[in-house]
Chain A
Amino acid sequence: MNGGNKRKRQDMALAVSDSLSNEERIVYNMIRSKENMGIWSGELKRETTIPENIFKKVLKSLEAKQLIKQVVNVQSKGRKIFMATEFQPSKEITGGDWYSDGKLDIEFIDTLKQLSLGYLSRQKVATVDMVLKFFKESGAFTVEVSNQNLEEILKTLVLDDKVSEVKSTGFDDFAGVPPGRVCYRIKSKIGGVREEKVGAMASIPCGVCPRINFCTPDGVVSPKNCVYYDKWLDF
């Protein structure tokens, strides 16, 4: 926050507090002091010790004057959080760039992942910048995607085991990428048959059975009367 900005805010606060009632001022100052973290209405009431009926009115009036706003807290959506209008909710409150209205924007994330996979499957290897450049040129988004955002997307693709992270050697596939730079490489081409590494356990009923801990050779749940097996062996 730069100095000029701060001064402006102080001036505004002074002007504002003149036009407020006593209770309004107390509540407003308390909310404002919490900056971009906001404050939970319960805590606010406790700290300001204003009687319930007045407290509600005060909040209404402050909201009507557009001095405070309610924000959704990703941690506990039931709780009302108030924040002075001039602040943008912090990452802790919103959940970060990937959240809108307290919800993870899965659709957006999945679109980015699909596009990245599509691009990587046409490339041998690519750095974050290369993928970003492709996004910008393709004009697929009106929303700004930052370098850091994209890196997060690529990292989840690595965790999904769809993409591997490799360091450039500067040779062969990496020609044109400075050595040592982190690159991403697709594990299998889209459309090609991907060799799923299904383990020994994952390919039999017991290996993925939710009831394995209740299953005994002669018990109520047992391999002899097991429905999962019946289904598996239903030729």
Chain B
Amino acid sequence: MVSEYGLKLAVHLITTHFGNIVANVCENLLRKGPLTLDQLIRFTELKREQVKNSLLVLVQHNCVQPFQNQQQQDAAKTEYMALFDNILHRPRFPKFLDIVSRKLDDECVELLDGLLRNGRLTLQQMADRASEGKENPVAIDVVRESLCKLLAGQYVERCPAPEPVLFPVVEETTTRKRGAKSAKIFQPPLTIEQRVLEVSVAGESIRFSLTADTGFNADRETNSDDCPMTSVEDAVKEELTPWRANFEEFMRHLRHKALIENVRTRLDEGAATILSAILDATRTAERKVKVQNSVPLSLEAIFTEVVKSENGRTMTIDRVKASLVQLGCPSRVPDDSYTIDLKNIIELARNDEVESIVLKRYGPYAYRMFRLLSKANCFLETDKIAESTLVEKKEAPRLLHGLWKDNYLHMEKLQVMASKQSRFVMWKVNKPQLWDYVLDEMYHAALNLNLRLGLEQEKDVELLSVPLDKINESKSLQKKFERRRRVRLLLGSSLMKLDDALMLFHDF
């Protein structure tokens, strides 16, 4: 479930990108979950045509996914589902472009830019776009070549099935298996959103292949990889296949980057080099973005990969081994392979972010107590906390209470009958809950930053139409101009940094 301010931020982004009407439709989908066209018309009180057009825009930009819901008995209806994550990705497009510009040529960056701006494009549309403003039209083959490169890096993917069918969940066998199997870790059932996404995505080999036949249509298995091309007609259709940026790959890339950066500051350059090599080597084997552990790799394979990298060229195998120990991974005995606990690195980074808020907002004593509780990861009693942190015993309850009031701590009162001093107050940092809370505060902060940025841009907007030499003549104009520039720079860079933190708490 998306938190309140996450929702508000998403609606704000859609409003600024596509206007109020589209945002109205989107907000209803975000708040109420998947809806049919008729329901949307009722809730938004807009005209049918307006809702339809809004949906077209949202689908085109990958912010909404339609699907056929066959879960109920009655006739299947098309429902529309908002894709919160994809909406939040929109301000990240410059980051995505930056990634590709470091790996591929300018033509690829151009092509990706077109996809990000337009949401989805066919090969023909890409070619038309590339030819815009040029004397000679760019040949479709040239565009195809760039697309192939982007596909090879999985930066671009085939658009998902336009309207996948969601069948009722088949209950697992009712006879309860006892013993080892039933002791399996409980997996929460997938939400409707997750299931729709799962059925809409093409199998790996089709998803990133330019030539494969998709076989996507309403009454065919959407998920199978083995639909041979049947006719020339299909080949022609190929030209009409829409493509889009593969956000998953970009998020994986950004997650890896965050992991490596964190290890670099926490440990050292060597450990960062090793982690980077491991993640590079196993990138394509990662099945989703939020993988808990790195894919197991033998020491030999790691070493080969490390010496390939620029920083790792001079490393010895002993140095690699030492770094692996630093990274907290003793080799696994059976096959001598190593795997790194990535989730742990992410969690340490989250702790840092939260602690730095506590320090700034509540001061050094509260910070010290908070860190004690965060490390202990269990309930501690007020006096015990004060003693272990050398904080004045009369001051400690007040500070702890302040943190609790703002949802940064969990508190429980304990009544012990037999003892003379019968009431204890116990405190704890409940991390998962706290992270959700901090994430919502971050969405709130991001929304505020966006609003303020908008306001600052409106202010002194007439400055933009003043010719440069006029500005240079007047001191006061110069000052205003300079202020505007610095404000935009500060707000913009703060937004980017905050967005990194948002990803750390939501996507990684």
CB within 8 Å of B: which residues of A?
A: 74-75, 95-96, 98-99, 103-104, 106, 109, 152-153, 155-156, 159-161, 195, 197-204, 206-208, 210, 212-213, 215, 217, 222-224, 226, 229, 232-233, 235
Contacts and interface: CB of A to CB of B under 8 A. Distances in A.
Interface stretch (B48-56, B206-214, B280-288, B353-361): B353-361
A202 B359 contact: yes
Contacts of A204: 445, 449, 494, 498
Given A156-B368, A201-B442, A202-B356, A217 B393 contact: no
B451 A201 contact: no
Given A159-B389, A215-B448, 4 more contacts: A95-B393, A96-B387, A200-B500, A204-B494
B429 interface: no
A223 B441 CA distance: 14
Nearest to A215: B448
B392 interface: yes
B393 A202 contact: no
A207 B448 CA distance: 10
A232 B456 CA distance: 13
A224 to B, nearest CB: 6
A201 B487 contact: no
Contact of A235 (B8, B394, B447, B482): B482
B219 to A, nearest CB: 47
Contacts of A198: 356, 360
A207 B438 CA distance: 10
User: Quick one: which of B364, B372, B390, B482 has the most chain A CB within 10 A?
Assistant: B390
A156 B389 contact: yes
B390 A98 contact: yes
Nearest first, the 6 closest Cβ-Cβ pairs linking A and B are A199-B356, A206-B445, A200-B501, A223-B448, A199-B353, A104-B392
Contact of B360 (A95, A106, A202): A202
B460 to A, nearest CB: 13
Contacts of B372: 159
A160 B357 contact: no
B17 interface: no
18 contacts: A74-B394, A152-B388, A161-B355, A161-B371, A199-B355, A199-B356, A199-B501, A201-B356, A202-B357, A202-B360, A203-B497, A207-B361, A207-B441, A208-B357, A212-B441, A217-B447, A233-B456, A233-B490
Of B356, B375, B486, B487, chain A has the most CB atoms within 10 Å of the CB of B356
A159 B366 CA distance: 11
Contacts of A226: 448, 452
A206 B389 CA distance: 28
Contacts of B360: 198, 202, 207-208
A59 B451 CA distance: 69
A100 to B, nearest CB: 12
A29 to B, nearest CB: 20
A103 B395 CA distance: 11
A164 to B, nearest CB: 10
Given A104-B393, A161-B371, A200 B448 contact: no
B252 interface: no
A224 B448 CA distance: 8
B455 A201 contact: no
B352 interface: yes
Interface residues of B, number: 49
Given A161-B371, A235-B483, A109 B357 contact: no
B410 interface: no
Contacts of A74: 393-394
A200 B497 contact: yes
A159 B498 CA distance: 26
Contacts of B355: 161, 199
Contacts of A104: 390-393
B486 A155 contact: no
B158 to A, nearest CB: 35
Interface of B: 8, 265, 352-357, 359-361, 364, 367-368, 371-372, 375, 387-394, 406, 438, 441-442, 444-445, 447-449, 451-452, 455-456, 482-483, 486-487, 490-491, 494, 497-498, 500-501
Given A159-B368, A161-B371, A199-B357, A103 B392 contact: yes
Contacts of B456: 233
Q: Which one of A104, A153, A200 has the greatest number of beta carbons of chain B within 10 Å? A: A200
Contacts of B354: 199
Contacts of A199: 352-357, 501
Nearest to A152: B390
B498 A200 contact: yes
Contacts of A201: 353, 356-357, 438, 441-442, 445, 498, 501
Nearest to B491: A233
Contacts of B486: 235
A106 B356 contact: no
A1 B390 CA distance: 29
Contacts of A95: 393
Contacts of A75: 393
Contacts of B364: 160
A222 B452 CA distance: 9
B132 to A, nearest CB: 38
A146 to B, nearest CB: 15
A184 to B, nearest CB: 16
Contacts of B392: 103-104, 106
A224 B449 CA distance: 10
A204 B490 CA distance: 10
A233 B487 contact: yes
A201 B367 CA distance: 15
A182 B406 CA distance: 36
Contacts of B394: 74
A2 B235 CA distance: 99
Contact of A210 (B361, B393, B442, B490): B361
A158 to B, nearest CB: 9
Contacts of A207: 357, 360-361, 441, 445
A95 B395 CA distance: 13
A217 B12 CA distance: 10
A204 B195 CA distance: 38
B282 to A, nearest CB: 29
Contacts of B375: 159
A205 B140 CA distance: 50
Contacts of B445: 201, 204, 206-207, 212
B356 A160 contact: no
A141 to B, nearest CB: 17
A155 B371 CA distance: 11
